Structure 1
Amino acid sequence: MSKQGKHSLIYLVGRGIPGIINFAALSVYTRLLSPEDYGQYAIVISTVALCNTLLFQWIRMGLLRYLPKFDTELKRAPLYANIAVGYATAIFVSLLMTGLLYIINPGEMVVKLAVFGMVLLWTEAFFEIALELLRSNLQVIRYSLSFTLKSSFALGMGILMVYNGFGVRGLLISLAASTILTTILSMKSILLAISISFRHFKLSFFREFLIYGIPFTVTFGMTFIFNSSDRYFINYFLGDRETGLYAVAYDLARQSLWVVMSAINLGSFPLAIRALESSGVVAANIQLIKNLQLLLKISLPISLGFIALSSEVVDLFIGEKFVAEAKQIVPYIIGGTVMVGAKNFYFDQSFQLGKRTYLQIYPVIAAAVVNVGLNMFIISWLGVIGAVISTLISFSIALTMSIVISRRVYPLPFPFIYFLKVLLASSIMGLGLFYGKEIMEGYVLRLVVLVPLGALVYLLLLRVFKIDFFK
């Protein structure tokens, strides 16, 4: 197995175990919480994620890009100083934003954001920065263990909190507490290195760091809008209950596939950056082809298999109050996730490799404008299905524009024949699962029998097409 394959496999395990834990959490929470409560929780979490994106994302992206330039820990002090100053500045801005929000509208939801949400924001932001350090250093095992530890703590404390009647506040407290505990236990050295680095701060390097990272703030902010603005519109037009029903279905579909695609990218993209820095464009392109092939042969069969067995997955994982809505939505969100994954985890890499990150703003701005415009008009008319339609349209616009613009920055290689072979093998497997489940009774039996059988069929088809899955 290649180095990139080994790293991605470790990340897949490291992301997969927390993903399974998150599935368990979703299953438990949809049985303990009402749709109204889950709707409130989804809005708070979405707002925290938006603030994290706007205030801290540029730090993580600058870290990922510049860390390979420093080959020893001693030389990294100026980079750590940038992280420390950027993090402190973002915290100060978040305090101002929260204070202003509380003055404008001192309601119950704002209180949640001001107290629990802000603490969760700070802890999540630092945890993700520490994860990027581990990722950039190719410390894949430590990365995976940290992620698993955090998810385990969050699930245990979350169940305890909800079961004892703390509701939404209890879930937010458990998330923040699990992040703090994990950081102290497994990332103490990173916390110490960043906290003592202020004296190495250099304004010129910070300016370069900022110029590289800020376009990502706009980009990911707009990405957040076309990914999650539908929850706010659903909440405004339809209320907490419909927000909760939609959010559960969306999270089930999105998280399942996103865990896999992000794990592959986590293991693969740093190798492409290192190849470009050390050996040039040809070496980077060879690595990029390997990365894309790995992404295709894992994510495509999972997505089409999930679509074929979506009803069975929903019945297994989701509480009864949420099932009907989820079965309508999940297959479409899986399709949309494939589009966004292709954009984020391959075509957008052109802008980073070509150091013209500002250009990736245009696809997401266009998609965000379309998404918001459609949501304003069709959610009140079609309900949550309107949100699904606007999401798919905006995702397709973002992907198309990213493909077109990226070719002018850093033309990415695309193994088209390889893609067609994997797509055909995945489609045959998916059709077999879809029609094969009709001869079986019970969703548990269908999943137990058909999932391994589908995987075996897919691997055999790859062999027919002369593709080695494990290479």
Structure 2
Amino acid sequence: MKKNSIHYIISSLISGVAGFLIISILTKEFDPISYGDYSLVITTVALLNTVLISWITQSLIRMYNNQKDKSELNILLNTSLISLFCMWMFFLIIIITMNLIIETQRFIIPIIILFVGESLFLYSSSLFRALNKAKIYNIIVCSSWILKLVFIVSFIKFNIDDILIITIALAVPNILIGLIVVTILLFESKESKWFSSSAFKEIYRYGIPLVGLSSMQWIMSSSDRYILKLFNKDVELGVYSLAYSISSNIYNVFITFLLLISYPIILRSYEEGKSSLNATRSIKEQFNYFLLILLPITFGLSILSDEAILIISSPSYSSGTVILILTNLSMLIFGTLFYINKVWELTKNTREIFLNSIFAALINVLLTFILVPFFGGTGAAISTLLGYFFFLIISYVRSRKIIRLEIDYFTSMKIIICSLAMGIIVFVGKSFIENNLFHVMLLIAVGCLVYIILLKIFGLFNLITEFIKK
């Protein structure tokens, strides 16, 4: 587990750094209106992957360990791959029909190419997660992000000034990596049955409810971009997209890393005698690690929101400070939801997560339509925060009827105090530094040192050592 964790740390860090560099390059080269168009393409592709592909990949990860021999595994892999190809065909039919009805040529080609690339890569990376081959997973994730960065820089060096064409640079590495993985898979499983209706039914039965959940989460996190566009808030769309990208890139690196480590531990605890008590203890322990890492990030990034936006982008995006702070809080709640929803996932009752998310998504969309005309991007950020907060409350209350989750309030309060004290130090330190990368990084280092010392004083340093050991 420790060896796998190291690989996941490396891939998370490299993807996070590369993601930031890409955001920085694009927002320094393009104005908020252009970046807003880019954001709409990325958001649309994310929705397509959520609806058409995620049910296949999530089922693959969950069902792999249930296969008794290599033959069954190959049948599962072949069936999932055929399902992927069918979703591509379905997508092409939809996109061609849309093109005949409305004029969308400028967005169509980037969306098609990016969707194929992202879905191929999502399938490939999920395959290696299912196989528990963290080293290969690490290699393909790092290779993908490094190549994306190289391609984007190359496109800009050739003076390509259409940001939608540049999105193709994001797809090329993933298409290359995905084709290699799929070719190897086809070669190794060529003698196995190509499609199994029973395997497909099992993939469908487990995965489809999660599609509903993922779609609702997409609505809560991304639909506001379309609403901003609908109300002709083009500049605010670009500013909002940047602020959201900064926050989500940071949080997703850590959330993904923590979930990759914690989910197998929680699942194993539950399956040992199907004990809800074991699962509750495991979730509580893993959630402490989550707070230990994400709370200081929330305080620190919110306090340094001005500096973050100006260093990463250009002054034309400087109005996104409040949006960034609100998005940080949304992402903290978003990460918390994964631990609460583990109750439904462990009992294979993912339909309940979907029902919870429907109510939260409806509230979010309604509030967005009300607030955006008056407050623009800030209104969209407020509606997202309130939507996630409602999702958190309803999920926690309803989950207690199945498994009564325990929260270590004493430990949580000590982590909050340490994070708040660190935040005060960083806030005071801002007045003594210049707004450049070196000084901000130096202040962040001081903040981390102060936080570690405070953890030691409050007797929480053992959480770090326990986490490293695991």
Shorter-chain TM band: over 0.9
Query: Secondary structure of the residue that 1:383 maps to in structure 2?
Result: helix
CA distance in 2, matches of 1:242, 1:192: 49
CA contact (8 A) 1:301 1:429 kept: yes
Matched residues in 2 for 1:157 and 1:191: separation? 28
- 2:457 corresponds to 1:464: yes
| Correspondence for 1:304 | 299
1:409 maps to which of 398, 402, 405 = 402
1:330 equivalent in alignment to 2:318: no
Answer whether contact 2:280 2:404 (CA < 8 A) is retained. Answer: no
CA deviation map 1:143-163 (0-9, x unaligned): 122111111111111122234
CA contact (8 A) 1:233 1:375 kept: yes
Per-residue Cα deviation, 1:149-203 (whole angstroms, up to 9, x for no partner): 1111111111222342252233221111011223356675346457x48725321
Per the alignment, residue 173 of structure 2 pairs with 178
Partner of 2:12: 15
Give how far 1:429 is off: 0.9
One-letter amino acid of the structure 2 residue matched with residue 375 of structure 1: T
Aligned-residue offset at 1:222: 1.0
Q: Residue 42 in 1 paired to residue 16 in 2? A: no
- How far apart in 2 are the matches of 1:35 and 1:457? 36
The SS at the match of 1:199 is coil
Partners of 2:454 and 2:362 in 1: CA distance: 41
Change in CA separation of 1:453 and 1:418 when aligned onto 2, cut-off 3 Å: same
Instruction: Confirm whether residue 374 of structure 1 aligns to residue 371 of structure 2.
Output: no
Distance of 2:136 and 2:419 partners within structure 1:
33
Aligned-partner Cα distance in 1 for 2:194–2:383 = 47
Kindly indicate whether residue 120 of structure 2 is the aligned counterpart of residue 126 of structure 1.
Answer: yes
TM norm structure 2: 0.92
Range 424-433 or range 134-143, more displaced: 134-143
Alignment of 1:202 onto 2:196: yes
Deviation at 1:274, TM superposition (A): 3.6
Structure 1 residue 256: Cα displacement: 1.1
Alpha carbons 1:80, 1:193 under 8 Å: kept: no
Q: Within 5 Å, which residues of 2 pair with 1:137-176?
A: 137-163=131-157, 164-176=159-171
Tell me if 1:288 matches 2:246: no
In structure 2, distance between residues paired with 1:258 and 1:69: 28
Counterpart contact for 1:250–1:333, Cα < 8 Å: yes
In 1, Cα distance between the equivalents of 2:9 and 2:309?
Answer: 22
Select the residue among 378, 390, 394 that pairs with 2:383.
390
Q: How far apart, in 1, do the equivalents of 2:220 and 2:365 lie?
A: 7
C-alpha deviation, 1:407, in angstroms: 2.0
CA contact (8 A) 2:120 2:179 kept: no
Counterpart for residue 67 of structure 1:
64
- Shift in CA distance, 437/82, structure 1 to aligned 2, threshold 3 Å: same
Residue 254 (structure 1) aligned with residue 251 (structure 2): no
Quick check: 2:120–2:175 contact (8 Å CA) kept in 1? no
Unaligned runs of 5+ in 1: none
**Residue 301 (structure 1) shift:** 1.4
CA contact 1:275–1:284 (8 Å) conserved in 2: yes
1:426 counterpart = 2:419: yes
Identity across the alignment (%): 26
Shift of 1:440: 2.9
1:221 to 215, 221, 225: 215
- Separation of aligned partners in 2, 1:107 and 1:170: 14
Please tell me whether residue 400 in structure 1 is matched to residue 398 in structure 2. no
**Quick check: 1:78–1:201 contact (8 Å CA) kept in 2?**
yes
Q: Distance between the aligned counterparts of 1:133 and 1:274, measured in 2?
A: 20
Residue 117 (structure 1) aligns with: 111
TM-score (norm. length: structure 1): 0.92
Separation of aligned partners in 2, 1:8 and 1:291:
14
Letter in 2 for 1:431: I
1:90 aligns with 2:87: yes
1:240 aligns with 2:221: no
CA distance in 1, matches of 2:15, 2:347: 33
- In structure 2, give the amino acid aligned to 1:67: Y
Structure 2 residues without counterparts, runs of 5 or longer: none
Instruction: Give CA deviations for 1:352-409 in whole Å, capped at 9, x if unaligned.
Output: 1011000001221112111111222221122111111111111111111121222223
Change in 2 beyond 3 A, CA 1:413/1:31: same
Which amino acid is the alignment partner of residue 177 of structure 2? Answer: T
- Asked whether the equivalents of residues 8 and 268 of structure 1 are also in contact (C-alpha less than 8 Å), the reply is no
- In structure 2, relative to structure 1, the CA distance for the partners of 1:237 and 1:73 (3 Å cut) is same
1:319–1:197 distance in 2 versus 1, CA, 3 Å: farther
C-alpha distance 292-240 of structure 1, shift in aligned 2 (>3 A): same
The change in CA–CA distance for 1:144 and 1:94 in structure 2 (over 3 A counts) is same
Alpha-carbon distance, 1:119 to partner: 2.4
Give deviations 1:39-94, integer Å, cap 9, x for gaps.
11111111111011011111122112111223654431222133123212211211
**1:452 matches 2:449:** no
Deviations 1:303-349 (A, max 9, x none): 21111222222221112221x22223111111110011111x31111
SS at match of 2:465: coil
Counterparts of 2:183 and 2:86, CA distance in 1: 21
- Pick closer, same or farther for the CA change 1:421–1:9 going to 2, 3 Å: farther
Moved more, 246-255 or 288-297: 288-297
Aligned to 1:27, which of 24, 29, 47?
24
Q: What is the CA–CA distance in structure 2 between the aligned matches of 1:90 and 1:193, rounded to whole Å? A: 23
Q: Distance in 1 between matches of 2:86 and 2:180?
A: 25
> 1:32, CA displacement in angstroms?
1.1
Indicate the SS of the match to 1:238: coil
The amino acid that maps onto 2:329 is: G
Q: Which amino acid aligns with 2:427?
A: F
- 1:141 Cα deviation after fit: 2.4
Residue type of the alignment partner of 1:81: N
Equivalence for 1:102: 99
